[in-house]
Amino acid sequence: MATEIERKFLVTGNDWKSVSPTYYCQGYLSRDKNRTVRVRIAGESGVLTIKGLTTGASRAEFEYSIPVSDAKALQQLCDKPLVEKNRRVLDYAGMTWEVDEFLGENTGLVIAEVELDSEDQQIELPPWVGSEVTDDSRYYNSNLSATPFNLWTDEARRKS
């Protein structure tokens, strides 16, 4: 079984914009808290992903490449809205960071993720990383599909 261990942070400033982005569009066939089933188109690739329940910063994850034509057809079956974003991949202090600048109904939200080998792995944070939101389920992409960032109240945004 594959395990994903990642931490998420809000992003500040613009230094992360130095890398060209790849456009992502993803939807959810299931957003159950015990399992999510995601269909993603990333650039010219299609991916079907099944993720288990998150415990701490870890969860089971299974990913399978699928034809883009299948991904597009499956996205028609997904809950709306689809989650759209531009992703930039940056290296900092020996770690690979993915910075997602959300589009569409989640415009204004920018999140950085870093995958770890263990939950207690020590990392150096880039200067453009702000508050950690790993444990805040509002920032899960599956939840951004159900309750997009543009629908959050100002008070909810300040709690970040």
Categorise residue 121: left if φ over 0, alpha if ψ from -120 to 50, beta otherwise.
beta
Q: Which of 23, 24, 28, 64 is catalytic?
A: 28
Q: What are the structure tokens assigned to 62, written together?
A: 């299974």
Whether the CA torsion 135, 62, 97, 18 is positive or negative: it is negative
Residue 28 falls in the annotated catalytic set: yes
Q: What residues are labeled active site?
A: 28
